[in-house]
Chain A
């Protein structure tokens, strides 16, 4: 059995591949334990990246609000 590459799994997880390719890859993942483990690992990494992105975005929002409302305390 030909295993999926890391790129192919990333493409599938990000929804960047075509419908047929996605179907074929998902079908393969159901059958192949090795690729399934690799996909779980990449999914966790993807979720972590999304979480970091969200936190940075939230931080930027707070930072902009803080800059608008807070001033340096006077000495």
Chain B
């Protein structure tokens, strides 16, 4: 995907945007940004990634050096830096938010920010794995997983609805989970 982005491939661009948009959103929410500021944060992050960076002679994406660490850490740093820069600019204009979307106060120099960002990144990977699993596994298995583990429907009810045994429902859910775990570990190695 990153090499595709480097070649200005529009599909790779879209893939990159879809994968990271929500991560930027979650980070912005954590810092208490309004919808307008979230939009601004996304624009700034994407601009940072895709426009020439001074002194490096290319995209931030292209100047990413795999040997220096994982892309996720590199990208998370870009997002955090842009969010903090925006907060500082707001502070100068005395518009800085002091509470996040949950109504909790936050500190710019939050020691847990890095851990929160990693957790949010894992959620993005998990979603990507789930989308892939949805394409690969039978819809019955996916339905069982969504209904039981995401919507809290009892496995017994699903077995009646799908007209399969309860053991099949348990096995279907396990199959979906195993497939997701496998894809997440592959994505994490990328």
Interface residues in chain A, defined as those with a beta carbon under 8 Å from any beta carbon in chain B:
7, 10-11, 14-16, 45, 48-50, 52-60, 62-63, 65-66, 69-74
Contacts and interface: CB of A to CB of B under 8 A. Distances in A.
Given A49-B173, A53-B149, A73 B130 contact: no
Interface size class of B (residues with CB under 8 A): 20 to 34
Nearest to A65: B25
Contacts of B25: 62, 65-66, 69-70
Interface of B: 17, 21-22, 24-26, 29, 35, 38-39, 42-43, 46-47, 122-124, 126-127, 130, 145, 148-150, 154-156, 166-167, 170, 173-174, 177, 180
Contact of A49 (B29, B126, B167, B177): B177
B43 A66 contact: no
Contact of B174 (A16, A45, A60, A62): A45
A7 B167 contact: yes
A73 B166 contact: no
Given A73-B43, A73-B47, A66 B21 contact: yes
Given A16-B166, A50-B149, A63 B127 contact: yes
B26 A62 contact: yes
16 contacts: A45-B177, A50-B149, A53-B148, A55-B126, A56-B126, A56-B130, A56-B150, A59-B22, A59-B124, A62-B26, A69-B39, A70-B21, A70-B24, A70-B42, A71-B39, A73-B42
Contact of B149 (A11, A49, A70, A74): A49
Given A16-B155, A70-B38, 14 more contacts: A7-B166, A14-B155, A16-B154, A48-B177, A49-B177, A52-B177, A53-B148, A53-B149, A55-B123, A59-B22, A69-B38, A70-B42, A73-B42, A73-B46
A53 B150 contact: yes
Contacts of A53: 145, 148-150
A68 to B, nearest CB: 8
A41 B30 CA distance: 35
A67 B7 CA distance: 26
Given A72-B17, A73-B47, A52 B127 contact: no
